[in-house]
Amino acid sequence: MKTNMEIVKNRKFKNVVVLTGAGVSAESGIKTFRDANGLWEGHDITQVASFDAYQNDPAMVHRFYNARRKQLAEVKPNAAHRALAQLEKRVQNFSLITQNVDDLHERAGSHNIFHMHGELKKIRNTLTGEIKSFEGAILEKDFTNWRPDIVWFGEPVKYSEEIFTAASACDLFLCIGTSNNVYPAAGLVHTAKMNQAICVELNLEETQLSSYYDLNFFGPATEVVPEFLEQLTS
């Protein structure tokens, strides 16, 4: 673990990119993907969050996303979401790239957000590509040609151009609460490094890419994120 704050102290970062994953919302009560053995109602998550699953059993896939959409009303942003919203106010160029499909960053007050894996509160027409806001439950009989606007494995991520442009130009890259298992998100640290950005990982535990980061802080996001940002900006 590398925790020497000297490399960021007294530096004025102008282009900050933050990448978040499920760990930032865990303490709000939203389960991460790779806990609970990656299972949902006994189904392998990777089988539920896939276009094949949607084609084979759309009702089951809708049930999965209906349950998660419903859960949004029961959860609230936490101290880590709020600290990131505050950071955005103090930085000249700030991009929040999230793999999360929940809306907790928005509700905490963040603005420049890129939901690279889609959003629970949007649905997409499979024939026309039209995307619209949606709340509530999708019942398969009423929504024959509509799917959750979620990026499943093998599908292109959203905002890829904006994301790579921001990561290529940043001087500080923060990676929070992601296992760094899923690409292209996990590879953004390499993009940021090519611009000599300082890269900082904040996670409950070590990930397979921890050694690529200049600093690592391990602990719950609601503690380490506000603490780190407080030190960064004081």
Closest approach of Cβ 233 to ligand BJW, in Å? Answer: 20
Strands (E) in 77-214, as ranges, are: 93-98, 113-115, 118-125, 131-133, 146-150, 172-176, 198-203
Rank residues 161 and 183 by Cβ distance to ligand BJW and give the closer one: 183
Residue 198 DSSP symbol: E
Q: How far is the CB of 225 from ligand BJW (least distance, A)?
A: 8
Helices 221-233 and 79-90: crossing angle, nearest 10°? Answer: 20
Q: Which is nearer to ligand BJW, 11 or 160 (CB)?
A: 160
Would you say 15 or 98 has its CB closer to ligand BJW? 98
Q: Beta strands of the chain (E only): which ranges?
A: 15-20, 39-40, 43-44, 93-98, 113-115, 118-125, 131-133, 146-150, 172-176, 198-203, 215-218
| Residue 181 lies near ligand BJW (rule: CB under 6 A) | yes
Residues 207, 209, 226, 232: which binds ligand BJW (CB under 6 A)?
Answer: 207
Contact 146, 124 (CB under 8 A): yes
Which helix (H) or strand (E) element contains residue 79? helix 79-90
Measured from the CB atom, is 110 or 207 closer to ligand BJW? 207
Part of the chain binding ligand BJW (CB under 6 A), chosen from 7-15, 127-135, 162-170, 180-188: 180-188
How far apart CA 160 and CA 175 sit, in angstroms, is 17
Planar angle of CA 205, 206, 212, nearest 5 degrees: 145
Instruction: Check residue 79 for interaction with ligand BJW (CB under 6 A).
Output: no
Query: Do 53 and 147 meet the contact criterion of CB atoms below 8 Å apart?
Result: no
In the bound complex, what is the minimum distance in angstroms from residue 148's beta carbon to ligand BJW? Answer: 8
Q: Residue 58 is which amino acid? A: P
Q: Does 151 bind ligand BJW (CB under 6 A)?
A: yes
User: Per-residue x/- marks for ligand BJW, 5-24, CB under 6 A?
Assistant: ----------------xxx-
Residue among 105, 115, 117, 190 flagged as catalytic: 117
The amino acid present at 163, given as its one-letter code, is: I
Q: Catalytic annotation on 62?
A: no
Q: Binding of ligand BJW at residue 203 (CB under 6 A)?
A: yes
Among 15, 95, 110, 178, binds ligand BJW (CB under 6 A): 178
Smallest gap from residue 96 Cβ to ligand BJW (A): 14
Sort residue 95 into left (φ over 0), alpha (ψ -120 to 50) or beta: beta
Note the residues at the interface with ligand BJW (CB under 6 A): 21-23, 26-27, 32-34, 49, 99, 101, 117, 150-157, 177-179, 181-184, 203-205, 207, 220-221
Residues taking part in catalysis: 117
